[in-house]
Amino acid sequence: MIRMSTSAASHTLAFLDARHRATPGARRVLTRDEALALADTVLGFSKLPLPGLRLQHRVITTVRITRNHHVACVEHDLLSLNFPTKIGSDIRVSIGTNVRDLAMLRRVMEHAQTCATPLPLPTADDTPDPVEAPKVRSYLPVALWRDGTQHAMDILNGDTVANLVRPLQQSSLLCAATILLMTRVVLHRPVGGQAVWGEETDSEVTVSARTPDGKASGWSGQAHRDFTRIDPARVAHDAIEMAQRMRGAVRVEPGRYTTILGPAAVGALVSALEFAFDAEGLGPFAAGPPTRIGHRVLDPRITLTTDPMDPEGGEFPFFDDGYAAYPSGKATWVEQGILRQLGYGSPYAALNAGKFPIKAPAALHMSGGPTSIEEMIAQCERGLYVHRLSGVDVVDPASASMTGTTRDGCFLIKQGKIATPVTNLRFYQSPALAFNRVLALGAPERASFGLTPPSLGNRDTWGTWPHAPIIVPPMMVEDFNFSSMTDAV
């Protein structure tokens, strides 16, 4: 355990770096004891009482392979500290920093409180206030950490990259790939209160392939909290095969098609639909009065849940400020098509609305059905198979109408068989409507997103990887609306 005190102000956190370089596969991020020691040391720098401090330490390793042969590898290590205070006569501010030198942290803490009057420490009866310490309630511990991912972060020391590069180099296509690995810890340290701790890992491998003439492309991806569960060679094979199958794509007229959406396509829609479960949002489920809770909003075969204990998905069981998020252990947003509840962006928003705080979803799990994609195709007289959607975003929040394009795999189906690859189409469709026209559902799996710009409707982190896990089935829907053609490949 790290030992730090105010007398150790010249120390740095360099031990972290030394540790993981000395021991291959060693933990990159702070342990709980180290994080607590650091938080208490920083709080000790304060001349005035503070309600508490939030600490996040995240390390992301990114391997990027471009033009089949060129590999780049970077590790991004970000330690951030946030705490509330007051400056000026009565200006409440949130202070954040990424500095990891204790002398600099002391400087931040001391200056930030020049002339400041102390914030009152919270009591049990306090009115909710964003600058107060979270009133922690009990929550179940979750297991979002997988050692296999941590060990894989020394990615260049193993065979993983070489094994992924080899099929790309042997391919006659223009290939690019990404390997992403993350470890992250979060600590909320309220003064005099119960510390809130979470740790997680995540990983993803994606490959895209394009024909040299730029007229056909394919993509594949796998995401898992445990990197050892990902098969990079399989991802490469699937992407290359998809690109080969897309050769000779023909144009089809836009319009309404029976559409089979692969898991990546459904995942993009569900991820962008998250805002609709925010009670304070402008989405179709929250608009009112009257409330739509208790009414059927989706196909009766669909149940949507957020379960922090979900072994394939899950998320931290507390709000960003440490308040317990799911009092009953998990949240069921839609049960057999019926809207059961909505969540909130912060516990204070819920309390101000007179509601019990339930966190609006980041991770989501959609129930599935018994039909495989092959069976869906066999059942389809005329329609489209969409492997992946790109640039999915909300255009009209009131109806959850979204736009985006097909990408890296789109096929015309005729009489129960794939007839021909087709060029990409733009869609304009509300999943809140499309998910009411479900013809068949398959087995749920975690959707892979890779590095794609976030949707306005997604409540997860902005522009950063990873997305919270979205587990969805492939889906066959009626009358999915493709509004125009696009020349994009």
Partner 1 sequence: MRSRVAVGSFAPPLLGAETLRHLARTAIEAAVHAGAEFADVRVSDRRQYGGGDERGDLLFTYGCGVRVRVHGHEAFGATAEATPDGVIRAARSAVATARALAAVSLPPWPLVPVPVTTGEWTTPLQIDPFTVSPDDHAFVGTGYRRTYGQYQDFLFQGGFTWVQETRVVASSEGTLVTQHATRCLSGFEPGFLGSRVRSGDPSDNFGLQVPAYSWSTAGFEATLGSANHDLLEATAVELTELLAYPVGAAEVGRRDVVLDGIATGSVLGTTLLPTLQLSRVLGDEQDAGGTSMLAPPEDILGHQIFSPRLTFGVDPGMPHYGAARWDDEGVATTAFPLVERGAVVNYLGTRATLPGLAESMHQSTLLVSPGAAFTPEVMTLPSSRPGTVTMQADAAGPSFAELIQRLDDGIVLRNEFSTHADQQGASGIFRPRLAFEVRHGKIVRRLKWLRVEFATKKLWTSLAAVGNATTMQPSVSVTYGGLPWNLSYYTTLAPATLFQQVNIASNHVEI
Which residues within the stretch 284-343 sit at the binding site for partner 1 (CB under 8 A)?
284, 287-289
Residues paired with residue 394 on neighbouring β-strands, in sequence order: 402
Site for partner 1 in 13-52 (CB under 8 A): 13-14, 17, 21
Of 242 and 324, nearer to partner 1 (C-beta) is 242
Site for partner 1 in 353-412 (CB under 8 A): 390-391, 393, 395-401, 403-405, 407
Give Cβ neighbours of residue 472 (< 8 Å, ≥ 6 apart).
Answer: 263, 266, 267, 270, 364, 366, 368, 444, 445, 447
Q: In the complex, what is the shortest distance from the CB of residue 479 to partner 1, in angstroms, rounded to a whole number?
A: 13
Among 3, 7, 22, 114, binds partner 1 (CB under 8 A): 114
Q: In the complex, what is the shortest distance from the CB of residue 414 to partner 1, in angstroms, rounded to a whole number?
A: 26
Q: In the complex, what is the shortest distance from the CB of residue 244 to partner 1, in angstroms, rounded to a whole number?
A: 17
Q: According to the binding rule CB under 8 A, does residue 111 interact with partner 1?
A: yes
Q: Among 32-40, 73-81, 191-199, 376-384, which window interacts with partner 1 (CB under 8 A)?
A: 73-81
Site for partner 1 in 154-173 (CB under 8 A): 156-157, 161-162, 165
- Number of residues forming the site for partner 1 (CB under 8 A): 102
Q: In the complex, what is the shortest distance from the CB of residue 100 to partner 1, in angstroms, rounded to a whole number?
A: 5
Q: In the complex, what is the shortest distance from the CB of residue 455 to partner 1, in angstroms, rounded to a whole number?
A: 10
Site for partner 1 in 206-265 (CB under 8 A): 206-208, 210, 214, 219
Q: In the complex, what is the shortest distance from the CB of residue 150 to partner 1, in angstroms, rounded to a whole number?
A: 18
Q: Among 196-204, 306-314, 332-340, 448-456, which window interacts with partner 1 (CB under 8 A)?
A: 448-456
Among 37, 40, 64, 312, binds partner 1 (CB under 8 A): 64
Q: Locate tokens 């179940």: which residue? A: 140
Q: In the complex, what is the shortest distance from the CB of residue 410 to partner 1, in angstroms, rounded to a whole number?
A: 13
Q: What sign for the dihedral angle of Cα 293, 298, 299, 303?
A: negative
Of 80 and 379, nearer to partner 1 (C-beta) is 80
Among 8, 48, 73, 378, binds partner 1 (CB under 8 A): 73
Of 36 and 173, nearer to partner 1 (C-beta) is 173
Site for partner 1 in 465-484 (CB under 8 A): 465, 483-484
Among 46, 183, 452, 458, binds partner 1 (CB under 8 A): 452
Q: Among 44-52, 119-127, 133-141, 423-431, which window interacts with partner 1 (CB under 8 A)?
A: 423-431
Of 78 and 195, nearer to partner 1 (C-beta) is 78
Q: In the complex, what is the shortest distance from the CB of residue 290 to partner 1, in angstroms, rounded to a whole number?
A: 10
